Amino acid sequence: MTSQDSQNSGKIMVLDDHPNNLRLLEDMLGQQGYSVRSFPRGRMALTAASQNPPDLILLDINMPEMTGYEVCDRLKSDPNLARIPILFLSALNETEDKVRGFRAGAVDYVTKPFQFEEVQARIQTHLRLVQTQRALREHNEHLEEVVAARTQELAAANGQLRTLDHAKGDFLKLISHEFRTPLNGLLGVGDMLLDEFCTRPEDQELRGMFEESRRRILTILDDAALLTEIDVDSKALPQDVLSLTRLLTDAIELASDFARSREVAFQRVSDAGSILGDEFLLKKALQALLETAVKFSISGECVRLSAATRVDTVSLTMEAHGRIVPASALPKFFDLFSIGEAITPGGDLGLGPPVAHRIISLFGGSVEVANITSPAPGMRVTVSLKRADSEPSLK
């Protein structure tokens, strides 16, 4: 087989009621390497096409029994044959005849008497299109299979992750509970020893260290359990209408003992608007951020609070003066894995910032941290929460 033969491989069906035309096309196309079947009648061709579909059809318009238009209609009505390109052969040269042929479903039109070079060029063009379309369909079918397989794999992986998440949550809850039992014993014994032996004024420093350690241990256990619960059960969270002023007041009360131990005060906000979220979780987030601001405040300072209502959000700002966040720590301030880095004189930040960040994100909000230079060096935490349109509930 010549290179031209391999290039022109394809099955072609020719329909023409003139035997001379059939022989001419059959001989010439056969010499070019095509597999050719010729028929003088439309019904015979339709039967043969349904049994062994060709790649392309050359169809004469004026034929007895069935015209080329009728044969074309029958071919296009069969889903197995509808994609076969049809080239009309006709002595009719009127525009109306060509338009009718294209409307019937033909892809091209060759006027008799035809030049074989023209017929061959049109055949090659449309066969290449057929091959390209076939390759594209096969590629798409393969792609759909790959996507379906990947989707099943991802669904299975997600199912395993959900199972692992719940197992992790149950494990951490168990660990937290089991830690608390012996820890309560240790803390209780520590309290008794301090009461018994640390009675002098100079021993109060030991009492302060003990209380600080107690608070940090219990806070880490609580935050770890809450963080796990958020990760596992975050899909079914309520969206209540809440007073941000009241939430902030309650959070300040929860953080007040820690602030007093550092000799830091809080500035109150009179009206901060209403937001959407869960009361317990958002109160926990605000408490964690307030205590974080305290850690960056020097003794005798006040954490300044302000709120601004926007179109869709309420913005809450907390400013601490005295200490700044190291530049290297700013990008990972809310990163869960940076809690061990001591970036304040009081030590590490614990789980408070990442817990607050997770909670606020659950309700469509955001939290950012930045350093400030005026009126004094310090840091600013900016919280953005979704604004509620209706009046806040009594929560």
Q: Report domain extents, the chain.
A: 3-114, 158-232, 237-386
User: What tens digit of pLDDT does each residue of 24-47 get?
Assistant: 888 888 888 899 999 998 898 999
Using CA atoms, how far residue 131 sits from 31, 49, 55, 96, 142, in Å, is 21, 18, 9, 30, 16
CA-CA-CA-CA torsion sign (385, 389, 392, 393): negative
Dist. CA 352–CA 340, nearest whole Å: 12
**Angle (CA) 296 298 302, round 5°:** 85
Residue 344's nearest CA partner among 311, 322, 375 is: 322
Show pLDDT as tens, one digit a residue, over the chain (395 residues): 344 444 557 899 999 888 888 888 888 888 888 999 999 988 989 999 999 999 999 988 888 888 888 999 999 999 999 889 999 887 776 677 778 888 888 888 887 777 888 888 888 888 888 888 888 888 888 888 888 888 888 888 777 776 666 666 666 666 666 666 677 777 777 777 777 777 777 677 777 777 777 777 777 777 666 766 665 555 556 688 999 999 999 999 999 988 998 899 998 887 878 898 889 889 989 999 999 999 999 999 999 999 998 888 999 999 999 888 888 888 888 886 555 555 665 556 777 888 889 889 888 899 999 999 888 899 999 999 998 875 444 45
Dist. CA 248–CA 27, nearest whole Å: 92
CB of 364 closer than 8 Å to CB of 270:
no
CA–centroid distance for 391 within its chain: 33
- CATH architecture designation of domain 3-114: 3-Layer(aba) Sandwich (3.40)
* pLDDT at residue number 234: 54
Residue type at 325 in one-letter notation: V
CB of 104 closer than 8 Å to CB of 87:
no
In which residue are the tokens 């030049």 written? 115
Residue 288 exposure: Cα atoms within 13 Å on the Cβ side: 28
- CATH architecture designation of domain 237-386: 2-Layer Sandwich (3.30)
CA–centroid distance for 193 within its chain: 56
Cis peptide before 354 (omega within 30 of 0): no
Q: What is the pTM of this model?
A: 0.50
User: What tens digit of pLDDT does each residue of 302-337 get?
Assistant: 999 999 988 889 999 999 998 888 888 888 888 865
Dist. CA 113–CA 90, nearest whole Å: 8
